[in-house]
Copies of this chain bind each other. A is one copy, B any other.
Amino acid sequence: MNTIDQLTELFEHFPGIGPRQARRFVHYLLSERQSYRTNLSDMIRQLGSQTNQCKQCFRWFVKDDASSGLCFACANPSRNARILFLVEKDADIENVERSGFRGHYFVLGGTIQLASEEPEKYIRLAELMRRVETDGERLSEIILGFSATTEGDHTRLIVQEKLRPLAERFNFKLSSLGRGLSTGSELEYADPDTIASAMSSRR
């Protein structure tokens, strides 16, 4: 297999990219200047060496010189360390930050598939337990920040079950994100569950 075909195949692994668009990417790269390609190639190679996975929350971040192995949120002493926000993946954190949250995070690394027997294979459950065992004393709340999807709900229930004994031992709260009408939702097209949630969280 030649470079063009091999590269097409690598791009097919990108999220949301099929064979056709993967091929277009290669054609695009061919039409670009060599300097752009070199630049892109260098960046991708450096990504590993210039980024670190935070040893506390497992999110990826760009190293600085005096790297402590901690990401900006975990390293920042002025953030509220009593609230821990569990997210599925790195990309969720950016959105949560934009909403104004200023506590700590933990990245589970995915969701648990419905029929799955071994949840530990999909998400960082063992790492989460260790983290909570260590930090339990100072925690007042863990927010289970899962998507409002079937798989998100399934994962939430499993994680909740696992965390409950620790929540009782250390006396912190386990909370889930509120459901309701999201921006743009019309009542006529909302599902009954969403309306019922919006009703019970009316204010």
Residues of chain A at the chain B interface (Cβ within 8 Å): 2-4, 6-7, 10, 13-16, 21, 23-32, 34, 36-48, 50-51, 60, 62, 87-92, 94-96, 98-101, 109, 143, 145-149, 152, 175-203
Q: Is the CB of A201 within 8 A of B180?
A: yes
Expressed in whole angstroms, the minimum distance between the Cβ of A119 and any Cβ of chain B is 18
Q: Is the CB of B199 within 8 A of A99?
A: yes
* 10 more A-B residue pairs beyond the given contacts A95-B187, A99-B196, A181-B182, with a C-beta to C-beta distance below 8 A: A13-B32, A89-B188, A95-B192, A99-B195, A99-B199, A147-B185, A149-B186, A152-B186, A175-B203, A178-B199
Identify which of A62, A100, A147, A177 gathers the most chain B CB atoms within 10 Å of its CB.
A177
Chain B residues with Cβ below 8 Å from A182 are: 148, 179-182, 185, 190-191, 194
Contact A3 to B43, CB < 8 A, known contacts A89-B188, A95-B192, A199-B101: yes
- This protein's copies in its complex: 4
Expressed in whole angstroms, the minimum distance between the Cβ of A20 and any Cβ of chain B is 8
27 contacts across the A-B interface (CB closer than 8 A): A3-B47, A4-B47, A7-B43, A7-B44, A10-B36, A10-B43, A13-B28, A14-B28, A15-B28, A16-B24, A23-B94, A27-B90, A30-B60, A37-B47, A95-B189, A95-B192, A99-B192, A100-B196, A143-B199, A143-B202, A148-B185, A176-B203, A178-B179, A178-B199, A178-B200, A179-B198, A182-B191
